[in-house]
Chain A
Amino acid sequence: MDGVDVVELVIVCVLFLLVTVMGFVAARWRRAEDLMHLDEWGLGGRNFGTWVTWFLLGGDLYTAYTFVAVPALVFGAGAAGFFAVPYTVVVYPLVFLVVVRLWSVSHVRGFVTPADFVRSRFDSPTMALLVAITGIVATMPYIALQLVGIEAVLKAMGVEGELPLIVAFIILALYTYNSGLRAPALIAFVKDTLIYLTIIVAVIVIPSRLGGWDAIFGAAEAKFASTGTGGVVLGEASQLNYATLALGSALALFLYPHTLTGALAASDRDVLKRNMSALPLYSFALAFIALLGFMAIAAGVEPIGGDGNTVVPVLFQQMFPSWFAGIAFAAIGIGALVPAAIMSIAAANLFTRNIYKEFLKRDATARQEAQVAKVVSLVVKLGAVAAIIFIDPQFSIDLQLIGGVIILQTLPSVAIGLYTRWLHRGGLVAGWVAGMAAGLLALYVTQRVGPDGTVLREHFGGSAFALSDLGLDTAVTVYAGFVALLVNLVVTVLVTAALRGAGVDPGVDGTADTDYTAERDDPTFRELPDPLESAPPGATGERPARR
């Protein structure tokens, strides 16, 4: 632990330096006319084509925490950790139709965040505020968890102290501030290249050194048989949890504000649809990444200080020469920077549009909006660093668990709202409150139980809610977020029916049916200046108002 591997460290530093330079140069990539405009800074001018969108969304959805935590879960629990694969397989067909509708309506009406949409669709600043707060609260611990990924790499390299972590995040904060969404889009190319390189080499080298896949699965089976928890296939009672966790996570994924930020930056519907069929390529990689957990078992990896997240870095160190381990570590580290940048931009957009402009300063100019968003994105990232350094990282992990459950509660207003205006704003608010309460309660009563039946943690012990807590005589568990979403939907529908029956004013829909299928060449389409081709609409200086 005391020896720092110099070769690894040098390679990681050089690659970090490379992406830092790229991050700053990105401001000029695809030549933005004026970064002091929220559309420009926060959505990259909304002009990303198929390739850039693929890298951006991929960098956004498959984060460093995924690379570290999924194999750690497989290492500890076996088959249950593999849920990440069906989760990322079902998500694309699931959102295929939904996300293009959101893209269309956002472009016709000039929406930047999901809360913008909810405000206009349901004529409800209250529901929009709830969506914005939910989004920010769910995103912040996600950013913090990216740091957990970097920390695991640093631990494996034997680097002590928190200074490197702080330096990495300050650099990230600076170039995001400077270049907006362009920085992570450009860096995502490097990240993905390194990740794929690492995975391909790992899949070829590691199994051959461990005696083949038979030996790897065999070692895992032997381990789970001796410890008594987990297994190479699922237990009878955890199958429902596996399916609902995959489905719930998939539904949640496209409700996270950072995903929508990436999706709205696409240049047209076709680009998005094409991406929905190309993005699953990452799921292939993810399956192999998950199996790194079993490889670690077969290789006899001992996590550093009992921290399961160090399993993959330690495995790489045992299996690869120093220089290649350095490349793999850089891949994980850079993999943390891309989503962290997009997430902080998304959280900043939400704050600026739906809290600052809505409630604090209604007459904010475009320039003020962009300035506030940039500052907020800085604050969000500093908050994430502080959370990791000053508070137990376990707190962030708990919060992220809660984040997935609470972001699901925006599904009726954001996703179902794209299809129907029947739901009443009062019903949506009531459903959100009920779903939040049910979700938090379900997580609160969930215990973590050790292999010998002792209770390791009394509360927030995981997301697998035991149906026996509802008085049912069964050992079956189900994803807590799924239960909460059902409660939410039932309450939303009942209250909507009641309010509609009583004739309570449902507000005025600010969108038209044709908005949801709008194409780029429609007359209603709000053409935002193309940073590559078009000349600035005015002369120089302040841009003309867009609406």
Chain B
Amino acid sequence: MSAGTEPPADPRPRDVAPARSDRSPWNWLLLVAVVVPLLVPLYNRVEPTLFGWPFFYWVQLAFVPLGVLATFLAHRATRRRPTAGRTARGR
């Protein structure tokens, strides 16, 4: 069956695939969501507490929706229209 013995130059079947790009300014949001939770000195303390939770714990829990929001927006903004398909976003 498939790729195990891949011939190096695979002849492109039928027509050529459309050129697209994964680049988008929205992707910078992802970087924010990766970097902020790793800045430990910013949140490594007890005060202010929330419902008895030290800052260290509740703020990291709050990073969860931050990550969700960033990935959700990046996904929405870069989504290719399913019907417009192969030409709409083709650079």
**Interface residues of A, Cβ cutoff 8 Å to B:** 37-39, 79, 82, 85-86, 89-90, 92-94, 96-97, 100-101, 108-112, 116, 119-120, 123, 212-217, 232-234, 239-240, 242-243, 246-247, 270, 273-274, 276-278, 280-281, 283-284, 287, 291, 353, 357-358, 362, 365-366, 369, 508-510, 512-519, 521-524, 526, 545-547
Task: List CB contacts (< 8 Å) of B10-34 with chain A.
Answer: 10, 12-22, 27, 29-31, 33-34
How many Å from the CB of B77 to the closest CB on chain A? 11
CB pair B40 A92 closer than 8 Å: no
CB pair A217 B64 closer than 8 Å: no
Task: List CB contacts (< 8 Å) of B38-67 with chain A.
Answer: 38-41, 44-46, 51-54, 56-57, 60-61, 63-64, 66-67
A-B contact count, CB below 8 Å?
Answer: 186
A214 to B7 Cα, complex, angstroms: 64
How many Å from the CB of A53 to the closest CB on chain B? 14
A79 to B68 Cα, complex, angstroms: 23
A341 to B51 Cα, complex, angstroms: 40
Q: Please classify the interface of chain A as helix (H, G, I), strand (E, B), loop, or mixed, using the class held by over half of its residues.
A: helix
A79 to B51 Cα, complex, angstroms: 18
A522 to B13 Cα, complex, angstroms: 11
Q: Which residue of A lies closest to B14 (CB)?
A: A523
Decide: A523 near B17, CB < 8 A? Known: A90-B33, A510-B10.
Answer: yes
Q: Which residue of A lies closest to B78 (CB)?
A: A273
How many Å from the CB of A349 to the closest CB on chain B? 12
A365 to B80 Cα, complex, angstroms: 38
Q: Which residue of A lies closest to B79 (CB)?
A: A270
A38 to B13 Cα, complex, angstroms: 24
| Closest 4 pairs (CB-CB, A-B) | A110-B2, A213-B52, A277-B71, A214-B52
CB pair B17 A512 closer than 8 Å: yes
Decide: A101 near B5, CB < 8 A? Known: A246-B37, A519-B85.
Answer: no
A101 to B78 Cα, complex, angstroms: 14
CB pair A233 B45 closer than 8 Å: yes
Decide: A514 near B16, CB < 8 A? Known: A86-B63, A116-B4, A246-B37.
Answer: yes
Report 9 cross-chain contacts, Cβ distance below 8 Å, ordered by A residue: A82-B60, A93-B29, A93-B30, A96-B75, A119-B6, A243-B38, A247-B38, A366-B1, A512-B12
CB pair A217 B52 closer than 8 Å: yes
Decide: A82 near B40, CB < 8 A? Known: A119-B6, A287-B61.
Answer: no
A489 to B20 Cα, complex, angstroms: 29
How many Å from the CB of B30 to the closest CB on chain A? 4
List, in ascending order, chain A residues with CB within 8 A of B82's CB: 270
A514 to B71 Cα, complex, angstroms: 24
Q: Which residue of B lies closest to A92 (CB)?
A: B71
